[in-house]
């Protein structure tokens, strides 16, 4: 059986910003559609603050594991874990049980920072702008990840900015 992959999905500005005041600093309808297609049917691992930012309700069609240090975290329709490692292990079990080949780490900043060293693939929407914000994504180390695919996406009617959608794969350790 092939191992279940850990993938990160993120949208990041040219200056590394991914969030502002508990929300995204942009509206990118095209990217939300891609996010939905990419993640549908796969377990999602997200931080407690990101879960709150999407209205504390699970996104349809995807099992959720919310990471919180609080033992008492309990919300309808989602599971929780008190460590990132615990969340990823649980997500992999769910993936195996449901026939998914990946688990998706979907933010926010605190969770991405800890998960970057564990991820095999990064699906990065590079948002072609510099914005103010309070939450960022770390620099992607080209020695650790290679770019394997890149597509320019002009801003559609419901997008604030043009984007560049890039897929990075962890380089194999020799
Ligand atoms: N642009 C994008 O692609 C994207 C994607 C997602 C989110 N965002 C943005 O990112 C921002 C939220 O990010 P954030 O960094 O503030 O918060 P976050 O990473 O979503 O959540 C942080 C919380 O996760 C829990 N946590 C983190 N590490 C943990 C660990 N090792 N073990 C147990 N629990 C752990 C803690 O919850 P407790 O405090 O409950 O213990 C912590 O307060 C928002 O602005 C959101 O819109 C952007």
The residue with tokens 């194999």 is 172
Question: What is the tens place of the pLDDT at every residue in 105-141?
Answer: 999 999 999 999 999 999 999 999 999 999 999 999 9
Q: Mean of the per-residue pLDDT values for the chain? A: 97
Q: Which of 31, 66, 107 to mutate to test the pocket of ligand 1 (most atoms within 8 A of CB)?
A: 107
Superfamily of domain 5-170 in the CATH hierarchy: Dihydrofolate Reductase, subunit A (3.40.430.10)
- The finding on whether 63 has its CB within 6 A of some atom of ligand 1 is no
Kindly report the pTM of this predicted structure: 0.98
Q: Over pLDDT 70: what percentage of the chain? A: 99
154 contacts: CB under 8 Å, gap ≥ 6: 162
Question: What is the tens place of the pLDDT at every residue in 2-16?
Answer: 899 999 999 999 999
Which segments of the chain does DSSP mark as H helices, in order? 29-39, 48-53, 84-98, 109-115
Rounded to the nearest 5°, which phi and psi values hold at 87? Answer: -65, -45
- The finding on whether 71 has its CB within 6 A of some atom of ligand 1 is no
Residue 49 CA to ligand 1 centre (angstroms) = 5
């Amino acid at each position: 059986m092939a191992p279940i992959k850990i993938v990160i999905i993120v949208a990041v500005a040219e200056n590394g910003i991914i969030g502002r005041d508990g929300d995204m600093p942009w509206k990118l309808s095209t990217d939300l559609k891609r996010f939905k297609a990419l993640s549908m049917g796969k377990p999602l691992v997200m931080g407690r603050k990101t879960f709150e930012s999407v209205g504390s309700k699970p996104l349809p069609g995807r099992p959720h594991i919310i990471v919180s240090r609080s033992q008492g975290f309990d919300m309808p329709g989602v599971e929780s874990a008190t460590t990132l490692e615990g969340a990823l292990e649980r997500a992999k079990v769910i993936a195996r049980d449901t026939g998914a080949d990946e688990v998706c780490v979907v933010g926010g900043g605190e969770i991405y920072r800890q998960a970057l060293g564990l991820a095999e693939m990064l699906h990065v929407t590079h948002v072609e702008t510099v914005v103010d914000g309070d939450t960022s994504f770390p620099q992607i180390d080209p020695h650790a990840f290679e770019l394997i695919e890149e597509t320019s996406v002009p801003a559609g009617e419901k997008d604030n900015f043009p984007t560049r959608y890039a897929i990075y794969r962890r380089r194999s350790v020799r």
